Amino acid sequence: MATQRRDRQRWLVGYHLVITVLTLLSVVNVSLMLGHWGPLASERAVSHGLLVFFAVDYFVRLAVTKNRKIFLVQSAFDLLGIIPLHPVFAFFRLGRLVRLIRTHHLFWRLGLDGAWTKAYHRFIYSTGFIYLFSISVAIIVLSAFLFSLSEKQSLANALWWAVTTATTVGYGDETPHTAVGKIIASVLMFGGIGFIGLLTSTITDFFTSRARQAPSAATTQQQADLTALLQKVDALTTKVDQLQMQVRQLERHH
């Protein structure tokens, strides 16, 4: 039993090392593509191969997991990382590395675990940021895909249009011309902008609450320090009184 457990642990560590290497390779490869460094054909081939690998890995884990609801929530970035609209979505695979770091308690092993990791967990999960972010990205991606089909645009241009529309920037370089495209744009304007507004307010509320809690935490610490100081003063006063009594007794004997 113990041998099987050790073998399983070794296999898991090896698997996570492979995922880590391929994730970093994805990020480097996409960075090279965006910077137009190196042969583009080879970089695209590597990007497509990694996309297939991570897609298979995601759906296999989804099939074997015991709780798919929790898996879908925790692996939202993994799903975004296999969206084939644009190579830049590979950057979402870095979310996998964050979970691997937490799984193996690397920050704790390195002595780096502290308040900031707890704040990160509260920001991502407790505030609902991960859910709002995933829904916002899903709306943008779906709108871009439908816009691409209806307007006969490339997926990259459609994604650019969806992002500029949802963020209310609206450069106007890409606009819908068909009736279906205008309906998609209308849905994105109401749905996407609403969720992005909630996302922005969530981020603002989190940092505002942190700023409010900081002074109160500092005040509490000051009160605790003052209480400890008063206790030490009382203890010192008691010892001084005892010494004075002993001195008086000695004087009486002499």
pLDDT digits (tens, 9 = 90+) for 88-98: 888 888 888 87
**Looking at the predicted structure, is the pLDDT value of residue 106 above 70?**
no
Q: Is-contact 127 56, C-beta < 8 A?
A: no
Query: pLDDT tens digits, residue range 1-47?
Result: 667 777 788 888 889 899 999 999 999 998 888 888 888 888 889 99
Give 54's pLDDT tier (boundaries 50, 70, 90): very high
Q: Which of 72, 77, 26 is nearest to 53 (CA)?
A: 26
Q: Is-contact 82 54, C-beta < 8 A?
A: yes
Report residue 90 as tokens: 């590979």
Counting Cβ atoms within 10 Å, is residue 27 exposed (0-12), middle (13-18) or buried (19+)? Answer: middle
**Looking at the predicted structure, is the pLDDT value of residue 198 above 60?**
yes
Cα distance between residue 6 and residue 29, in whole Å: 34
**Looking at the predicted structure, is the pLDDT value of residue 214 above 60?**
no
Cα distance between residue 198 and residue 202, in whole Å: 6
Predicted pLDDT at 6: 77
